[in-house]
Amino acid sequence: MNDFESFGLKGGIWQGVLHRDAQPGRLVLVHMGSRVAEARVTAETEGRWRVAAAIPAERLSDGAQSFLLLEDQEAEGQPPQPGARHLASLTLVAGDVLDGDLHAELSLMRSELELLKKELRRLAAEPA
């Protein structure tokens, strides 16, 4: 079970709530394999911790960008440990390049759906 509930991205800040009894370790935002920020964690109510991580503007560009929220016990400012726990992912998609990618993906899905329909019709027409 994932104990992080994402509230999405607003104003460049990815927010959510971590559901657990004990205070979490250090939460790190990772992009393309490198640490880009550390998330702020504040207690809300018993068993709920508010998490807010700022997405650095210089990390945004055309295409798909994936950000990971990891938890470890390392000191602030250090890269994440190899055994860091993956809590959540945030994927941002932008730009003109994406338009062609989406059309190609949609075309592929339509082709696969047509193939599936033909196969189902063939199976339905076969005698039992």
Distance spanning both ends of the chain, measured CA to CA? 43
Domain encompassing residue 31: 4-95
Per-residue pLDDT tens digits for 81-104:
888 899 999 999 887 766 677 778
Q: Evaluate whether 47 touches 19 at the Cβ level (below 8 Å).
A: yes
What global pTM score does this model have?
A: 0.71
Do residues 56 and 116 both lie within one domain? no
Domain containing residue 38: CATH number: 2.60.40
Secondary structure E strands in 32-80:
34-38, 40-45, 48-54, 63-72
Total domain count for the chain?
Answer: 2
Do residues 14 and 66 both lie within one domain? yes
What's the chain's average pLDDT?
Answer: 88
Enumerate the β-bridge partners of residue 59: none
- Residue 99 is predicted with a pLDDT of 67
Do residues 110 and 62 both lie within one domain? no
Residue type, 128: A
Enumerate the β-bridge partners of residue 29: 37, 69
Residue 1: is its pLDDT beyond 80?
A: no
Residue 39: is its pLDDT beyond 90?
A: yes
3-state secondary structure at position 117: helix
Do residues 86 and 106 both lie within one domain? no
Do residues 87 and 128 both lie within one domain? no
Do residues 103 and 113 both lie within one domain? yes
